[in-house]
């Protein structure tokens, strides 16, 4: 059964009122705060029918009603998503304002010489501050990153520091030992060969057999093979755990939605498991689409009181990470969605200067 326009409008008003107050919404609330021109009795009847249809429900013994997961889903699909798809002036203006705010705030806090991981950490802090919910940023998987540059620095005789820089600006350092005596010039020559052969290659394609090494440089082969082995170890070690930067745990727990101790335990159980959070983001977000998951749509009991807004982001249109905002189902979807979209659009613009 489809909803009449009147039911849609009343449902929308109930959800907006509940998002703002965290209090069950009565028919009198709707009369007092809208210009629908309907009597309390008419609104009460419509709200009862919305409850029978599964869009609203009565919490405890309250006279008011609150949205169900089905109600939130209708609201998100019919008001938030349509605003994005239609590029409505309200969402476009909100995204532009968020982009300006993001640029202004992060510019104060980030310098050109910062490691990529520090930039992600600070970005997650700003996102949590802007939304007042939990922010999560998953770094791009190193396996999908591209080779940018390698440096070889002699520490002691036979002891070398390898510095690997990817296309996202992530820096990996690893010590290794090598047999044979090489001087600084030869270490530089080996690095030059690797940089010439591997620049902009996907790290998954790093293989000694694919290198072109001249006969005159053949004496560097043992050193180059050792460097390739060390790069592969870095990739394998990093694949074991895909780094996630989380900020704003206290913000989400301070929401009135989580005064119930059982709900607090459920949220904490989820937040303590970073591996689960990473998998949640990587498995739910596909392609460039912004996703909005509500309550039980996420997974498991721990998320039944939460909603997730998430999207992929790109660095140089190549390496892909994920950004997510986790909050109560009563979250301000309009605000969170425009911030996530703005951050995604602005990511390369904000950070690319750090890596040129």
Quick one: which of 259, 256, 320 has its CA closest to 286? 320
What is the 3-class SS of the chain, one letter each residue?
Answer: CCCCHHHHHHHHHHHHHHHHHCCCECHHHHHHHCCCCCCHHHHHHHHHHHHHCCCEECCCCCCCEEECHHHHHHHHHHHHHHHHHCCCHHHHHHHHHHHHHHHHHHHHHCCCCCCHHHHHHHHHHHHHHHHCCEEEEECCCHHHCEEEEEEEEEEECCEEEEEEEECCCCEEEEEEECCCCCCHHHHHHHHHHHHHHHCCCEHHHCCHHHCCCCHHHHHHHHHHHHHHHHHHHHHHHHHCCCCEEEECHHHHHCCHHHCCHHHHHHHHHHHCCHHHHHHHHHHHCCCCCCEEEEHHHCCCHHHCCEEEEEEEEEECCCEEEEEEEEEECCCCHHHHHHHHHHHHHHHHHHHHHHCC
- Give pLDDT, residue 110: 64
d(CA 115, CA 169): 7
How many residues are given for the chain? 356
- Give pLDDT, residue 319: 61
In our burial notation (b when 16+ CB lie closer than 10 A, e otherwise), range 160-193 reads bebebbbbbbbebeeeeebeeebeeebbebbbeb
d(CA 159, CA 226): 12
- Give pLDDT, residue 190: 94
- Give pLDDT, residue 226: 94
d(CA 309, CA 94): 16
311 pairs with which residues across the strands?
A: 323
d(CA 52, CA 61): 17
226 pairs with which residues across the strands?
A: none
User: 23 Cβ partners below 8 Å, 6+ apart?
Assistant: 64
Measure Cα distances from 45 to 9, 17, 41, 50, 62 in Å: 14, 18, 6, 9, 16
- Give pLDDT, residue 222: 93
In order along its 356 residues, the chain shows pLDDT tens digits of 578 999 999 999 999 999 999 899 988 888 887 777 888 889 999 999 999 999 999 887 667 899 999 999 999 999 998 888 777 777 788 778 877 777 777 666 766 566 777 778 888 888 998 899 999 998 877 767 889 899 999 888 888 999 998 877 778 889 999 987 889 999 999 999 999 999 988 888 889 888 999 999 999 999 999 999 999 988 887 765 567 888 888 888 788 888 777 878 777 777 777 777 777 787 777 777 789 999 888 876 667 888 999 998 877 666 678 899 999 999 999 999 989 988 887 776 665 554 44
Give phi and psi for 77, each to the nearest 5: -70, -35
């Amino acid at each position: 059964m489809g909803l009449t326009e009147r039911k849609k409008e009343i449902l929308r008003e109930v959800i907006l009122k509940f998002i703002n107050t965290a209090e069950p919404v009565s028919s009198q609330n709707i009369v007092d705060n809208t210009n629908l021109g309907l009597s309390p009795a008419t609104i009460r009847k419509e709200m009862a029918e919305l409850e029978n249809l599964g869009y609203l429900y009565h919490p405890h013994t309250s006279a008011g009603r609150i949205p169900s997961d089905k109600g939130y889903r209708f609201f998100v699909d019919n008001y938030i998503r349509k605003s994005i798809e239609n590029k409505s002036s309200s969402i476009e203006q909100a995204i532009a304002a968020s982009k300006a705010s993001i640029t202004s705030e992060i510019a104060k806090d980030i310098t050109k010489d910062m490691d990529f991981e520090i930039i992600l950490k600070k970005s997650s802090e700003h996102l949590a501050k802007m939304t007042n919910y939990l922010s999560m940023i998953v770094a791009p998987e190193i396996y999908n990153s591209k080779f940018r540059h390698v440096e070889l620095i002699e520490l002691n005789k036979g002891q070398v520091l390898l510095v690997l820089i990817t296309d996202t600006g992530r820096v990996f350092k690893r010590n290794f030992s090598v047999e044979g005596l090489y001087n600084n010039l030869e270490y530089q020559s080996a690095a030059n060969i690797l940089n010439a052969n591997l620049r902009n290659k996907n790290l998954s394609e790093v293989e000694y057999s694919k290198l072109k090494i001249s006969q005159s440089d053949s004496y560097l082969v043992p050193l180059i093979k050792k460097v390739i082995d060390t790069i592969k170890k870095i990739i394998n070690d990093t694949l074991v755990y895909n780094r996630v930067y989380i900020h704003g745990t206290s913000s989400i727990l301070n929401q009135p939605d989580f005064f119930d101790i059982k709900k607090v335990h459920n949220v904490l159980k989820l937040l303590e498991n970073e591996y689960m959070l990473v998998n949640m983001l990587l498995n739910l977000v596909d392609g460039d689409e912004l996703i909005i998951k509500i309550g039980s749509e996420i997974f498991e009991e721990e998320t039944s009181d939460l909603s997730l807004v998430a999207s992929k982001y790109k660095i140089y249109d190549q390496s892909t990470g994920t950004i997510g905002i986790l909050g109560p189902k009563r979250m301000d979807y309009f605000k969170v969605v425009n911030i996530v979209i703005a951050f995604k659009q602005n990511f390369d613009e904000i950070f690319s200067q750090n890596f040129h």
